[in-house]
Amino acid sequence: MVKSIVRGVLSMTMVLAMGVQAAETAAEPAAEPAKSMSVYGTALGEGWQNWSWAKTELSVELKGSARRPIKVDAAGWQALYLHHDPFSTTGLKELSFLIQGSAPDGEVHVFALIDGKVVGAGKPVKISNAGWTKVVIPLATLEVEDKNIDGIWFQNGSGNNLPHFFVTEILLD
């Protein structure tokens, strides 16, 4: 009888231990979603580098503004190219930025890169000289949602010179 009581106590102890272990496992926090990544604020974000083949100037002072944008002078087909070691966009949904031109009716094409190569057709963005324009592009539109990317281009999509433009507050969210 003592043996059966001991067996019963041991069995109950094992069941309780398994229940506690299951409860502890269930209480583990879920993986954190990806956080926003600053590509450029008033300077390049951590890990980002300027690999442009357009003429660029970072942290330009504009009279009366706290913003310090990137100034871009892009001849035909040239681009502002911001490079980063490959990273996953999992959990990120969009690319946002502010853009302003120095002349009306400009246009750039925004691309994301995988292994240093442009993905998809990109997204054309009109540039105005009437103030800052906020642009939000879903990563799905750039065909890089849940992919490993290593760069972003803002490219003059024509063979003609594009009057200088400014880009700032570039964020992956």
Residue 7: give the domain boundaries: 1-30
Shared domain check, 44 and 7: no
Over residues 118-136, the pLDDT tens digits come to 999 999 999 999 999 999 9
Residue 111 CB contacts under 8 Å (≥ 6 apart), including other chains: 118, 119, 120, 122, 123, 142, 152, 153, 155
For residue 34, the model assigns a pLDDT of: 60
Shared domain check, 5 and 59: no
Shared domain check, 107 and 62: yes
Question: Residue 66: which CATH number?
Answer: 2.60.120.260
Give the total number of structural domains in the chain. 2
Shared domain check, 48 and 14: no
pTM of the entire predicted model:
0.80
Shared domain check, 12 and 97: no
